[in-house]
A and B are shown apart, each in its own frame.
Chain A
Amino acid sequence: MDFPLFHLDFMGNRLLVAIIAILHVVINHSLAVGFAPLVTFLEFRGYQKKQVSPEEGAAWDETARKLLFTAFIITTTVGALTGVGIWFAASLANPASLGSLIRVFYFAWFTEWIIFVLEVVFIMIYFLTWKRSNENPKRKRKHILFGLWLSIFSWLTMAIIVAILGFMMDPGSWINHKTLFSGFTNPIYFPQLIFRTPIAMMMAGCIALLITAYILKRGNPYRPGLLKHISFWILLWTPVAAAGAFIYYWFIPRSMIGNLPVALGTQQFQDWYDSLLTVMIVVVSIGFAVSILGTFAPRRLPKHLLFIPVVASILFLGTFERLREFIRKPYVIGDYMYANGILVEEYPLYQQTGLLKNSPYSSVSEITDANRLKAGEEVFNLACTRCHTTHGVNSVVNRFERMYGTENPLNVEAMKVYMKSMHNVRYYMPPFPGNDMELDALAWYIQHQQAEPKPLEGPQIKGVDVKEIKY
């Protein structure tokens, strides 16, 4: 309502956010949160082995350094930028929501920032002083200690951001108190953390296993030992990850029932939920199989097949993130703001007086027969474009065609009846926020879009219409 609304009419805003966010989560969990302790552990084992066999110790140390090199390059480029990118993309996709969240979570994000600065400083020290740390044992011990600090701070950055994610799904008591602490103590917080931590460790193991298998040649005498250790690392974390996932899986509906008419959406929810269970079982089994093979017969590990657990664990995480997004609907901030960026509290006003009248970014105030399609387009822009496109991903025309079929042109009256009460039967949809005239214009616009498809360009291309509002 109060922002020019960035819109991508093919891919949709949500996909843009999803791509950036999932990329970031995968890199953060596996290459930062998980890699730091794993690399430190391997370095420590190398240091121990050095006492007995200097050559073996050196080989371990070098492998650990190479693993860190990969993580260092990726986390300080794509990892860091996608982290900032989530903000960029989210503020484009739903400015009202991010603007509100930042006011509530300023301190959390500020703390996050301080820890993040320390994390970056530690990873630079840890990586850039690696070679020099091999000069003497005393330096090495200090270096390993830095690895430990890095591990702690990497985990802490995740622990804080998860509070914000948890809050979006279930504001718990926040609605009443509007304080930061209530966001932190929301009921989803601990289940999420318990789930994400071992997943991060497991994913780090899978990626380290893959990299090690490729960088060490088959004849290398230390290869089996290293593969075995990393496999064992995965084997240790897999049951924890399975348990964590199950706890999360168990908690979600129980704590969400309070603020969602889940009963209405049981069918849709159950479908998702079942697919989640399947994904969980498949991924955990793959993790187990690979890690058991690697632990007991590291020589037999086929290196090309090691891509499978990596891809599987990424899918695993992706499914959970998708579910998290699914659960919070129809809200973007539970019970406070709908996914369209409009506050629950503002609804009566807009439904009585209309959206267009209240938006500075629409040229239309009064709907007439002459401007009906233009008005419909603007209503669509204000009420629908945070999630829907005209003909691209999650296309509004396609949604209706799937319900009504394509034999006949879309029926304006039917769509009006549907949109007026859709929130009663499609619980993930927010109620229509405008008045009846606007509903009518929107239905005509959608019908017209079906008859004569015409992409709707966002303000980043065509600019915005501005009008003065009387107040």
Chain B
Amino acid sequence: MINAVITQIPVPKDIPLPLPLPEWILVAILIFSFLLHILFINLMVGGSILTFWYEWKGLKNKDHDKLAREIAATITVNKSLAVVLGVAPLLSINVLYTLYFYSSNALTGNMWISIVPWVSVAFLLIYLHKYSWDKLAENKTLHLSILALGVFSFLMIPFIFLTNINLMLFPEKWGEVQGFFSALTLPNVFPRYFHFITACLAITGVFLAVYFGRKSYNTESKFEHITKADLQKSMLTLALAATGFQFIFGPLLFLTLPTKGVTWGLFWVILAGVTVAVIILLQLWKMIKQNETIGRRFYLILGLFTILVAFMGTGRHMYRESALKTHKTMMAERTAAHWEAVKKAHENVLMPSVQTGEGTISPGEALFKNNCAVCHAANTRLVGPSMAEAAPVYDGNIEGLKQWIKKPGRKRMDYPAMTGFPNLSEQQLTDISNFVLQKDWN
């Protein structure tokens, strides 16, 4: 007896409808809209973490409480944009990777669908927190707990997305996983997660540096001690530190990628991204050290971040494509073979059926088999009474029987009511009735 479980690779067939657009356009839409979506997700997650951090510190320093409130005001806007901007990439991944995406959704289905209520509740908590700031000023523990629940949700929900998007790349694992938690432990989910959370902090740092650095933003009327320069410096430092940490999480992510999708092309794209990241670090460092305000160097940094994200987004897609390449080919072959088989099956249907020894049957009998035999047998009760019991009721009353078949009522209370057959023609009704009345059912 063989104890080792040999996992087969499932080869389903593809949806037999053409893509609505050339594939490369869909891919471009997917990458671009996904990056836009994830940008606001980053701001939402990073913003809520920072709000919590500053409100916590605000217990001792009122200025920090005010700062927390300023950051909180951005979360609710960013979260709405994050959701609405998520629709386009969802649509595109649905259409490009239908078989892969839906399969991994189904395999982690309970957690996947829980995103809907969970995110709703998290958003409601974030609103509750935002609009109860004054009311709960005296009960900070409660106010912070509300936020803590929201932040906790924001920190957990990415696991569901990451697990799914990771599982879809490995059809060879589909037969092995049993639910969400076993899919969560596939290699690469956790490195991806830390890479993502750190990115949230980096992007939020850059965003808030702009947000607080803008000319129309007046710090003096809002804070007692905090100045614009302080704010900018802390936000840029956050961006610097988080980007620095990516030099740990990034390589970890790359090294844990299952090798099947790693190519030299991918390596060079990632390396280019890393080079840009190094330049970003240097520029951020200089900016902080020289206490610069937002100016040319900052715009350079923004531009570099955009390039970095574009490289990483492309790398991500390249990995996906090469990881699924072989499987996609197999699937295309199976689909083609399947439709050949479907064609043959249609030809078989058209061929004259083999004559049975019983000879031809009357039209009434044929109609009876198709329509009536479903519920009526000769001698036993099925859905309806047996024919031996029912046929004698209309002995010599063919018109009555025809009327009944067309529009039956209900005679036996221990049986369900019969379905009517108003679609049968007069001739068909006569044929059936003749067959029923002439046959000896016993």
Contact = CB atoms under 8 A, between A and B. Distances in A.
A462 B178 contact: yes
Contact of B102 (A99, A107, A117, A343): A99
B11 interface: yes
Contacts of A458: 106, 109
B123 A84 contact: no
Contacts of B95: 102-103, 106
A206 B105 CA distance: 38
A460 B83 contact: no
A104 interface: yes
Contacts of A78: 120, 124
B106 A264 contact: no
Q: On chain A, which size bracket covers the interface?
A: 35 or more
Contacts of A104: 17, 20
Given A92-B112, A109-B91, A358-B338, A81 B120 contact: yes
A466 interface: yes
A417 B377 contact: yes
Nearest to B182: A463
Given A109-B91, A261-B423, A348-B346, A2 B109 contact: no
Contact of A266 (B77, B124, B420): B420
B127 A91 contact: no
B8 A467 contact: yes
B106 A4 contact: yes
Contact of B107 (A4, A77, A106, A343): A4
B258 interface: no
B178 A91 contact: no
A120 B106 contact: no
Interface in B303-348: 333-334, 337-338, 341-342, 344-346, 348
A5 interface: yes
A414 B377 contact: yes
Contact of B342 (A95, A345, A361, A424): A345
Contacts of A87: 90, 94
Contact of B20 (A89, A103, A263, A466): A103
A425 B383 CA distance: 12
Interface stretch (B64-72, B141-149, B269-277, B366-374): B366-374
B421 A264 contact: yes
A1 B18 CA distance: 19
A107 B92 CA distance: 11
Q: By DSSP majority rule, is chain B's interface helix, strand, loop, or mixed?
A: helix
Nearest to A85: B116
Nearest to A89: B113
Contact of B90 (A6, A84, A418): A84
Interface in A26-81: 73, 76-78, 80-81
Size bin of chain B's contact surface: 35 or more
B382 A418 contact: yes
A267 interface: yes
A371 interface: no
Contact of B17 (A1, A5, A103): A103
A393 interface: no
Given A95-B102, A468-B11, A352 B83 contact: no
Contacts of A289: none
A360 interface: yes
Interface stretch (B54-62, B169-177, B283-291): B169-177
Nearest to B382: A414
A461 interface: yes
Q: Which of B10, B103, B369, B423 is packed against the most chain A CB atoms within 10 Å?
A: B10
B292 to A, nearest CB: 32
Interface string B399-441: 0000000000000001011011111000000000000000000
A465 B127 contact: no
Given A102-B95, A404-B383, A421-B374, A361 B10 contact: yes
A24 to B, nearest CB: 10
B419 A88 contact: no
A75 B85 CA distance: 16
B332 to A, nearest CB: 11
A417 B382 contact: yes
Contacts of A264: 419, 421-423
Interface in B257-287: none
A109 B33 CA distance: 14
Interface in B118-134: 119-120, 123-124, 127
B56 to A, nearest CB: 25
B234 interface: no
Interface string B360-403: 00000000011101110100111100000000000000000000
Nearest to A76: B80
Interface in A451-471: 458-469, 471
A250 interface: no
A245 B333 CA distance: 49
B15 A100 contact: yes
A471 B334 contact: yes
B370 A424 contact: yes
A2 B12 contact: yes
A305 interface: no
Contact of A460 (B7, B84, B106): B106
A463 B179 contact: yes
B198 interface: no
Contacts of A460: 106-110, 112, 179-180
A418 B384 CA distance: 11
Given A3-B99, A102-B98, A402 B416 contact: yes
Contacts of A459: 106-107, 109
A100 B20 CA distance: 11
Contact of A461 (B77, B112, B178): B178
A464 B383 contact: no
B248 interface: no
A116 B87 contact: yes
Given A81-B123, A266-B422, A467-B8, 6 more contacts: A116-B87, A128-B77, A267-B417, A345-B342, A465-B175, A471-B11
17 contacts: A1-B12, A20-B116, A76-B83, A76-B123, A81-B123, A85-B115, A264-B421, A267-B419, A348-B348, A349-B341, A418-B382, A420-B374, A424-B370, A425-B375, A462-B179, A464-B10, A466-B8
The 7 A-B pairs with the shortest beta carbon distances in the complex, nearest first, are A460-B109, A2-B12, A466-B175, A85-B116, A106-B20, A349-B345, A360-B10
